[in-house]
Amino acid sequence: MAIHDFICDSCGITVRDTDTRKIHRCKNCGSDMRWDCNVAIHGNYSRPIHSASLAISPSQVEEHKRMFPNVRLDGEYRPIFSNFVDHENYLKKSNMIKEPQRIRGNKERIYGKKRVKSRKSGIQAV
């Protein structure tokens, strides 16, 4: 049975449930909650992502545990994401903006303003 996320737009609370037929009400503020379709589209990652770009200092570990109890850290203090929802929520709470990745016809990947050629083509980073 699939587990779905329901989000309260008023206060940001997320609830997981298997029933998509009933109206979910936020236990915090009483507002109607909406079904988060991103989970249905993206779901869990095939393998955990260790984000080097979001690594933190050892002095920030306690704050991280308070703010993101669902997101573990690896030995190098990089957050580990196992699903799309936790990753997106982490970015939103951290005021980070994820640049969309684009791939050109020549297998060139573009991350923000930095261009990186595919390793399969043998061309180094630009």
What are the structural domain ranges in the chain?
1-42, 44-95, 100-126
**Comparing 65-74, 78-87, 101-110, 112-121, which segment has the lowest mean pLDDT?**
112-121
pLDDT of residue 22: 81
Which two tokens mark 87?
């990753």
Q: Which residues pair with 111 in a beta bridge?
A: 101, 114
Look up the CATH architecture of domain 1-42: Single Sheet (2.20)
Name the range with the highest mean pLDDT among 36-40, 68-72, 120-124: 68-72
Q: pLDDT: is 83 or 112 the higher one?
A: 83
- CA dist 83 and 74 (Å) reads 16
The pTM (predicted TM-score) of the whole model is 0.47
Give residue-wise pLDDT tens across range 103-116. Answer: 555 555 555 554 44
Residues whose CB is less than 8 angstroms from the CB of residue 116 and which lie 6 or more positions away in sequence, other chains included: 108, 109, 110, 125, 126
- CA dist 46 and 37 (Å) reads 18
Task: Using pLDDT thresholds of 50, 70 and 90, give the confidence band for residue 21.
Answer: confident
Which two tokens mark 28?
């915090």
The C-alpha angle with vertex 51 and arms to 111 and 66, in degrees rounded to 5, equals: 130
Task: Using pLDDT thresholds of 50, 70 and 90, give the confidence band for residue 59.
Answer: very high
